[in-house]
Amino acid sequence: MKKEEQKNLAKKLLTLSVFRNLINEVPLKNLINYLKSENDAIEKASLYGEFVYSLGGYGNSFSEFLSRAIFEDENYYIVSVAKKKKLDSSIIENALEELKLLSSLTELDEKELTQDVIFEYVPKFKNKRIDFVFEYKKRIKNVDKYGYGIFASSEMFKVVDGEIIPVESADEIKLDSFVGYEDERKQVLENTKALLEGRPAANVLLCGDAGTGKSSTVKACVNHFYKDGLRLIEIRKDQLLSLASVMGKIADNPLKFIIFIDDLSFNKNDDSFSMLKAALEGSASKKANNAVIYATSNRKHIIKESFADRNSTDDVHRNDTMQELLSLSDRFGLTVYFQKPNKELYLNIVKILAQKSGINASEDLLVKAEAFALSKGSRSPRAAEQFINSLL
């Protein structure tokens, strides 16, 4: 590619309008700086090295960077399509031409980029031909499965300073990794399937003993239905005051969401109590039609109550107040109880986990597994897994 061709390519990239956000992404910004540079060979070499360096987080692949940047870009075109808004033909044409231009970038290699510059060694990068026109049309057609913007980047998210961001190293647990509790998981799966199919779906409280797989069930469910357009947003109990804001941000999104609250419990005077109550009761300002709330708790009654609360005579309507506090769990449309396993189920879990790990499930092993559970204070699937892991 001659210097004049490089300048022309830089000009074309700088005219991006639909996908204009991309020119602020570091790798593409570095490429443009290299293409338009008229400096001497030393400066040009430095700019080229900076471009290749910026691809490190993408496996040194320019096409991988472009794929992520294009498919995760939240632009007017994709948002309008998702909301079924009519687009002016000029915007559609702009998008088509820009996708063709971006597709052409996946054909570049180090030799073509540096043929007019003398390098002793040319740093290499990976690139693979991608037809972004075809791929983007496919994503538009299935925007309720792929999503757009940040939600196209991952299956699980969290809230930090009011912003929704992807969870790094999200739990990849699968449904086939569980042993036991099939009926409990089936209820959660069926409810989630209803959400994805646009049928009425309930908010779910998964309650019961610690280590029985409540949180893991929710995350495995999300991993299972990810390709069907399901995403998870985890909110800590102390972040519940931001629940309305989170609901507002996803209200018009074509994807489906589980708002996940792990290890939920309240003191009776918690400010966030009323926020959750309003969301569970379907307050118009607190509820998104494409989202349900899944919460886990080790307590059936998720309000911490003392005997002093029961005996208080200060409240004229004490009974009404206590019912208010104790009935929050009833506002979940579905409650699934995960009870700690009895000895037979616990040992069966140990056997199956042992077989999966290539360990002989002998009688001696089962005796040791029972002793391990007793040392932990109770039997649970988590204890069984910890025991097997201790042998590996």
Mean pLDDT of 233-249: 88
Q: 308: which 2 tokens?
A: 């002093």
For domain 156-338, give the fold: Rossmann fold (3.40.50)
Where is average pLDDT lowest: 5-9, 192-196, 309-313, 335-339? 309-313
Average pLDDT, the chain: 86
The 8-class DSSP code of residue 207 comes to E
pLDDT at 303: 52
What b/e readout covers 337-355, taking b as 16+ CB neighbours within 10 angstroms? ebebbeeebbbbbbbbbbe
CA 336/CA 340 separation, integer angstroms = 13
CA 71/CA 104 separation, integer angstroms = 16
pLDDT at 63: 97
The domains of the chain are located at 3-144, 156-338, 343-391
pLDDT at 118: 64
pLDDT at 329: 66
- Bigger pLDDT: 334 or 320? 334
Q: pLDDT tens for residues 206-236?
A: 988 888 889 999 999 999 999 999 999 999 8
Closest CA to 335 of 193, 187, 190, 230: 187
Q: pLDDT tens for residues 109-142?
A: 998 898 776 667 889 999 999 999 999 999 999 9
Evaluate if residue 390 carries a pLDDT over 80: yes
- Phi, then psi, of 40 in degrees rounded to 5: -70, 175
Evaluate if residue 89 carries a pLDDT over 70: yes
Mean pLDDT of 323-328: 53
**147 in Cβ contact with 229 (< 8 Å):** yes
Task: Give 282's contacts (C-beta < 8 A, 6+ positions apart).
Answer: none
Evaluate if residue 2 carries a pLDDT over 70: yes
Q: pLDDT tens for residues 7-36?
A: 999 999 999 999 999 999 999 999 999 999
Q: pLDDT tens for residues 258-305?
A: 999 988 876 655 666 666 776 676 544 456 789 999 999 876 555 554
pTM over 0.85: no
pLDDT at 159: 94
Could you list the beta-strand ranges (E) of the chain: 156-160, 163-166, 204-208, 230-234, 256-261, 266-267, 291-297, 303-304, 334-338
CA 367/CA 387 separation, integer angstroms = 12
- Bigger pLDDT: 158 or 41? 158
**219 in Cβ contact with 177 (< 8 Å):** no
pLDDT at 306: 45
Evaluate if residue 307 carries a pLDDT over 60: no
pLDDT at 304: 52
pLDDT more than 70, % of the chain: 86
Cα distances (angstroms) measured from residue 370 to each of 138, 177, 208, 340, 392: 53, 21, 21, 14, 18
Evaluate if residue 381 carries a pLDDT over 80: yes
The 8-class DSSP code of residue 274 comes to H
pLDDT at 39: 75
Mean pLDDT of 51-80: 96
- Phi, then psi, of 231 in degrees rounded to 5: -135, 155
Mean pLDDT of 307-334: 54
pLDDT at 194: 95
pLDDT at 252: 87
